Structure 1
Amino acid sequence: MEQLGIGIGWRPEIAEAVEALPGVDWVEVVAENVCPGRLPDSLARLRSRGVTVVPHGVSLGLGGADRPSERGLAELAERALALGSPLVTEHIAFVRAGGALTASPRLEAGHLLPVPRTREALDVLCENVRIAQDSLPVPLALENIAALISWPGQELTEGQFLAELVERTGVRLLIDVANLHTNRVNHDEDPAAALDALPLEAIAYVHVAGGVERDGVWHDTHAHPVAEPVLAILRELRSRVCPPGVLLERDDDFPAAGELAGALGGELTAIRAAVAEGPPPARARARGGRPGGPRSGPGPRDGVDPARERLGIAQAALLSSLVAGTPAPEGFDHRRLGVQSRALAAKRASIVARVAPELPGILGDGYRPAFLAYARTRPLRSGYRRDALDFAEQLLLAGQPSDDNARRLLTRWWEDRVAPRPPRRAGRIMRAARAALVRR
């Protein structure tokens, strides 16, 4: 198993701080944010120093009912080769639903949603994992996710689900101790019991991240300092095994530049201390984890697979209730569904604001409530840039915003981006002149 050491998630916003941090052995980068032919200068410098870079995918949706996208797998493989990575990682989650399999509209979650822990869903997941493994040039490790909601009719605990996944596919595990804490708070699941069930020798590395309690549940935000209960679970894991790598995730709400290095450095110091504590771990138990194990599960690839169809219908119904306001599927906690729905819309609003910063600039304090109202009935379908255009169009069709100047600015912004090609220089000059006359 590759020995990684102590690492941190590389993000463009903190690239300089990450480069300057002492004792960083490796970094992890969101795979979808990297262009193989044009690596950011910061990543190139880290690689030249011998720092390992691991691509971490967020969009494959291996827990979904559809087989994984060939294009998505090819792109992940390309990034692994471009970065010289010893492995790639993804999530045990679904991120989209609907489409041809269920004869319903295709919906995107824009987030990682939990897979039902049933044997049928595990069968589908195992086949998807094998397809991914066959397409990747390096080993694959999968991460347990945090969940605000849980499926009714669970047949396996989290530990049992992960252990059987490893036994049947030989996939490695990325254990997120912050997500174990989240699921303890939100679903009363015991992290120690999950760790007891895991094939510890399959652990590729460990994630540590911060979160916050809100709406009566724990949100895995990656935007807050690491809480002591999360470090306690890391120490609990360390008492069982010495993980090959441990990585700090921080994705948002970064401290001010003058405080950033100190804050990140302090958290890395706390992680090193947690890893160093405790007695030497007992020898990991032999638990299978080899390819070629049991291969029962979904049937032939030709034709409709009933297991995939049933899972697809269930996931589409859940996602539709979360992003399109359709009735909640039977057996779910309606309050938790509401919390999850609001969290998805809030995350979507934040991403659109980053993709199209002109919109909050034009709309001011009205941006967020207007976008959340739009998101209640308009699911994400074609990416966030299209989402920004659709949001602006809906506002304009409704005669909004009420301020004439803001509406003119929004109209101009929308027209510039929805046209087949940007306006020529002469057109931009004429438009600026008209706007000046209006302001007079």
Structure 2
Amino acid sequence: MALGMGIGWRPEIARTVEELSGLDWVEVVAENICPCHLPDSLSRLLARGLTVVPHGVSLGLGDADRPSEQRLKDLAERATALGAPLVTEHIAFVRAGGKLTASPQLEAGHLLPVPRTWDALKVLVENVRIAQDSLPVPLALENIAALISWPDEELTEGQFLAELVERTGVGLLIDVANLHTNHVNRGEDPAKALAELPVEAIAYVHVAGGEERDGVWHDTHAHPVTEPVLEVLRELASRVSPPGVLLERDDDFPPSDQVHGALAGELAAIREAVGGAVQAPPATRPASATATDREADASPGSPGSADPSARDRLGICQTALLASLVAGGPAPEGFDHQRLRVQRRALAAKRASVVARIAPELPEILGPGYRPAFLAYAKGRPMGSGYRKDALSFAEHLLISGRPANARARRQLTRWWEDRIATRPPGRAARIARAARMRLLRR
């Protein structure tokens, strides 16, 4: 299925996307649209005949638990509403804990890497099959960028993806910016990963910008595409002609009078990188695993199906890691402590930024004190039910503690909280009870 050249549709650049020439399709974050009321811009693009592909970010197919039926239903509804030829998601875990580990469920608010182990592969394979059975169109999965590496991994990224494709027939969404990120952050060779991939399974390719800070590459989607990322794209295009290529830009857009030229320039550079790549003769792809490995991985029932013990083991490992990253838990054995600190800070900063974006009144009310206050609140308080609930909990936390100190700001925050919670902020008795519960929880 040929998609051609595309761009990620975002509300902030909707008008510019409509005006760009040479576009064949767009991708939209699935969770950001309502299937019964599509944005006018998307409706106009559909009417012009452009393909629109929903791209999910919260399904968590790499979670130890099975994927949510409701999330799968929501993704299916969006694919149907858009008339999409496929849907895409990520090879990542986004939550841990819950019934599987008899512990509170933790939300990362971010895409975290799945350990490249046979246990994790078994679980992922079964979760992907569940998703495929629930969706009305084919599924393709994206490799993610990561700051941290799991200890004692048993497969390379290329081998892990090749095994996943072989066992499920799922398509691949290869993000060349993520391959570059993992090269800088984890020392992984993009060319080696591409050589091990079943390139015939590629549905399309992502290209995005980022920046390097303190020796760590941050896949920001808020900077222009860099030459090293284009070089990985050329390497991929020398092995296979990608059915589709898409530019991702999510934030920090150029000024309105410059954004069209900037995005058009990046699309032109991407076209040139793909069109200028010299196709090498087909190479024999290295075997992704030995026969001994396959026999060791075999479990009762269909190949790759996850036995309960594999889910249990993966659940324990993921919960320990996520507790360390978002709930003040100790660092799990074998992880790089410095990288864990970097990941903790990145997750907290992203959480603060997303809450500020969906509840812009909070930074307006709190001013420069918003960010430090939120980071102090988030430390040891994991997100439980999404960013909107997080914003309400943050406001409640401030009001319970008698903040902000400025009386006018406190009144504004109270009104904001009341408007959204449909009840009054907690009084003295409720504050005492809440404090007592918190003390018990900390014991």
Same fold (TM over 0.5): yes
CA contact (8 A) 1:222 1:252 kept: yes
Is 1:267–2:270 an aligned residue pair? no
CA contact (8 A) 1:139 1:171 kept: yes
CA contact (8 A) 1:241 1:282 kept: no
Structure 2 residue identity aligned to 1:39? L
Q: How does 1:269-308 map to 2 (within 5 A)?
A: 269-283=268-282, 296-297=298-299, 305-308=308-311
The match for 1:125 is 124
The match for 1:312 is 315
Cα RMSD of the aligned pairs, angstroms, is 2.2
- Secondary structure, aligned partner of 1:117: coil
Structure 2 residue identity aligned to 1:178? A
Structure 2 residue identity aligned to 1:341? R
In 2: Cα distance, 1:157 partner to 1:199 partner? 14
CA contact (8 A) 2:30 2:56 kept: yes
Which has the larger displacement, 141-150 or 29-38? 29-38
| CA deviations over 1:123-167 (Å, ceiling 9, x no partner) | 110111111111111111000000001100011010111111111
| CA deviations over 1:279-338 (Å, ceiling 9, x no partner) | 23534768999xxx99945879x9981110110111011001100111011111111111
The match for 1:226 is 225
Gaps of 5+ in 2: 289-293, 425-443
Residues 354 and 252 of structure 1: CA distance in aligned 2, closer, same or farther (over 3 Å): same
In 1: Cα distance, 2:287 partner to 2:127 partner? 19
In 1: Cα distance, 2:157 partner to 2:178 partner? 11
In 2: Cα distance, 1:114 partner to 1:78 partner? 27
Residues 284 and 135 of structure 1: CA distance in aligned 2, closer, same or farther (over 3 Å): farther
Give the superposition deviation at 1:381.
0.4
- Secondary structure, aligned partner of 2:104: strand
In 1: Cα distance, 2:306 partner to 2:264 partner? 53
The match for 1:375 is 378
TM-score of the superposed pair, with normalisation by structure 2? 0.90
Give the superposition deviation at 1:13.
0.9
In 2: Cα distance, 1:224 partner to 1:337 partner? 24
Q: How does 1:23-34 map to 2 (within 5 A)?
A: 23-34=22-33
Give the superposition deviation at 1:383.
1.4
In 2: Cα distance, 1:197 partner to 1:267 partner? 28
CA contact (8 A) 1:241 1:284 kept: no
Structure 2 residue identity aligned to 1:210? G
Gaps of 5+ in 1: 422-440
The match for 1:326 is 329
Which has the larger displacement, 402-411 or 354-363? 402-411
In 1: Cα distance, 2:98 partner to 2:178 partner? 30
Give the superposition deviation at 1:388.
0.8
The match for 1:191 is 190
Matching residue within 380, 383, 405 for 2:408: 405
In 1: Cα distance, 2:269 partner to 2:127 partner? 37
Is 1:348–2:351 an aligned residue pair? yes
Structure 2 residue identity aligned to 1:263? A
Q: How does 1:102-251 map to 2 (within 5 A)?
A: 102-251=101-250
- Secondary structure, aligned partner of 1:258: coil
In 1: Cα distance, 2:163 partner to 2:130 partner? 17
- Secondary structure, aligned partner of 2:105: strand
CA contact (8 A) 2:7 2:26 kept: yes
CA contact (8 A) 2:129 2:168 kept: yes
Is 1:43–2:46 an aligned residue pair? no
Structure 1 residue ranges, 4+ long, deviating more than 6 angstroms after superposition: 286-289
Q: How does 1:75-86 map to 2 (within 5 A)?
A: 75-86=74-85
TM-score of the superposed pair, with normalisation by structure 1? 0.91
Identity of aligned residues (%): 75
